[in-house]
């Protein structure tokens, strides 16, 4: 049976501007998570490790500074500008790592090329999660580690001490989920389902660790917070063509403005709490039975 652990992290999240934990890696990656990654992947000298959805190279820089000799790090990301940033970051920190722009569902590597493969907050944006995990299994050696860390965006907790806060959260959830449904059709609850997907592709789930990502505001947020929220929502409205969505967005803007006024009036009595859960699923690729 997989074991389960729970950790609490306080990070920069905002359910009023997105229904998913976008840009998760750069927002909350810290020394604690690096240590978790090291414990989980158990890198040894000469190991080849693949980071799927590497972003700007945060993992490569942190792992490369652990002092493990001849560790070979590789990262792929769908967005080429992030790949370039990752290359620059690794060079700046004198870390040897290779990067390439590629889709998680069609990795440009040979079968069984890596000792470990990991992916953090990427599959929440992928329509074909099963296809991506199948690729993770393909490029990982038998007995190798596979780690997938994803949130459950369908189960976000929200509390506000003002009535407009509840209305704002409800409208934000409807608005952003409607936009994302028109786009990639992702699975909002992908996090807790990864172990099932592992099983389909010859990966044995060995552990699940939970990270609670949360934020608490005591006292009214400064004007810059409300300005940023309004600006992001206005930008989202500008990008959609569907008229019903634009009307929903306009309704949300009005509620968000009311929420800002109520929060400001409440002053030090204002409270806002939000959190979601990350599921870090650890697996081991099952050795292929001899024919």
User: Residue 291: what pLDDT?
Assistant: 45
Task: Tell me how far apart the alpha carbons of residues 208 and 85 are, in angstroms, rounded to a whole number.
Answer: 31
Stated pTM of the model = 0.86
Domain annotation covers residue 219: yes
Alpha-carbon distance values, 71 to 37, 114, 143, 161, 273 (Å):
14, 11, 18, 50, 41
pLDDT digit of tens for each residue in the chain (291 aa)? 556 655 655 556 788 987 766 655 666 667 778 888 889 998 889 999 999 999 888 889 888 888 888 889 999 999 999 999 999 999 999 988 999 999 999 999 999 999 999 999 889 888 899 999 999 999 999 999 999 999 888 888 999 999 999 999 999 998 988 877 655 556 778 999 999 999 999 999 999 999 888 889 999 999 999 999 999 899 989 988 889 999 999 999 999 999 999 999 999 999 999 988 889 999 999 986 544
Domain annotation covers residue 112: yes
CATH code, domain with 131: 3.40.50.150
- Extract the tokens encoding 239: 């990008």
Domain count across the chain: 1
Residue written as token pair 């660790």: 209
List phi, psi (to 5°) of 22.
-70, 155
Domain annotation covers residue 106: yes
Domain annotation covers residue 133: yes
Domain that holds residue 281: 3-285
Question: Could you count the other beta carbons within 10 Å of the beta carbon of residue 36?
Answer: 18
**Residues in contact with 272: Cβ distance below 8 Å, sequence separation at least 6, in sequence order:** 159, 160, 161, 165, 215, 216, 217, 221, 263
Domain annotation covers residue 35: yes
Task: Tell me how far apart the alpha carbons of residues 217 and 272 are, in angstroms, rounded to a whole number.
Answer: 5
User: Residue 256: what pLDDT?
Assistant: 96
Domain annotation covers residue 291: no
Domain annotation covers residue 197: yes
Task: Tell me how far apart the alpha carbons of residues 273 and 145 are, in angstroms, rounded to a whole number.
Answer: 35
- Extract the tokens encoding 79: 């967005």
170 SS3 class:
helix
Domain annotation covers residue 290: no
């Amino acid at each position: 049976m997989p074991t389960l652990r729970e950790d609490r992290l306080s990070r920069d999240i905002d359910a009023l501007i997105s229904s998913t934990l976008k840009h998760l890696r750069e927002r909350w990656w810290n020394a604690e998570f690096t240590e978790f990654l090291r414990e989980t992947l158990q890198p040894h000298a000469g190991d080849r490790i693949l980071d799927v959805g590497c972003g700007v190279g945060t993992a490569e820089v942190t792992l490369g500074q652990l002092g493990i000799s001849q560790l070979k790090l590789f990262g792929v990301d769908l967005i080429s500008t992030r790949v370039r940033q990752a290359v620059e970051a690794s060079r700046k920190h004198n870390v040897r790592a290779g990067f390439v722009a590629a889709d998680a569902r069609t990795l440009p590597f040979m079968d069984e090329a890596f000792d470990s493969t990991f992916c953090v907050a990427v599959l929440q944006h992928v329509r074909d999660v099963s296809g991506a995990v199948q690729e993770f299994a393909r490029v990982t050696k038998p007995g190798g580690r596979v780690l997938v860390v994803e949130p459950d965006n369908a189960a976000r907790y929200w509390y506000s001490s003002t009535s407009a806060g509840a209305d704002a959260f409800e409208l934000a959830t409807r608005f952003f989920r409607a936009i994302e449904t028109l786009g990639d059709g992702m699975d909002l609850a992908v996090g807790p389902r990864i172990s099932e997907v592992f099983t389909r592709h010859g990966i044995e789930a060995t552990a699940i660790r939970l990270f609670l990502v949360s934020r608490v505001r005591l006292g009214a947020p400064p004007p810059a917070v409300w300005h940023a929220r309004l600006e992001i929502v206005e930008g989202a409205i500008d990008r959609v063509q569907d008229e019903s969505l634009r009307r929903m967005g306009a309704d949300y803007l009005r509620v968000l403005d009311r929420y800002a006024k109520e929060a400001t009036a409440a002053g030090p009595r204002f409270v806002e709490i939000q959190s979601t859960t990350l599921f870090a699923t650890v697996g081991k690729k099952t050795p292929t039975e001899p024919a």
